[in-house]
């Protein structure tokens, strides 16, 4: 998504890397999803190219309604959920 956002803005990797404050190699790692890059750096790059980091409340509500409808189609035995959160 970050690469797509960068290309939409017609920025080179060097331009975005300079704006984020990282090397071009680090930006390449971000664009390839390398888990060794600091999350804050990834968020900064995403913010600069307008990649949404979190869904809006409307999208969350729509997804929750969809999931409730999907669960309603399952047999009752499949809907029983027991959570053992005792550590």
Question: Is there a contact between 20 and 44 (Cβ–Cβ < 8 Å)?
Answer: yes
**pTM > 0.95: yes or no:** no
87 within a domain of the structure (yes/no): no
Domain range for 4:
1-75
83 within a domain of the structure (yes/no): no
48 within a domain of the structure (yes/no): yes
CATH number for the domain harbouring residue 9: 1.10.260.40
pLDDT in tens, the chain (87 residues): 899 999 999 999 999 999 999 999 999 999 999 999 999 999 999 999 988 887 777 887 887 888 788 777 877 766 665 656 666
Number of domains in the chain: 1
């Amino acid at each position: 998504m970050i690469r797509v956002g960068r290309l939409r803005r017609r920025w080179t990797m060097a331009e975005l890397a300079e704006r984020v404050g990282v090397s071009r190699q680090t930006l390449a790692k971000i664009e390839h999803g390398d888990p060794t890059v600091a999350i804050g750096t990834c968020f900064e790059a995403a913010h600069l190219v307008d990649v949404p980091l979190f869904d809006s409340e409307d999208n969350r509500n729509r997804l929750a309604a969809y999931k409730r409808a999907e669960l309603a189609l399952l047999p009752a035995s499949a809907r029983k959920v027991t959570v053992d959160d005792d550590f």
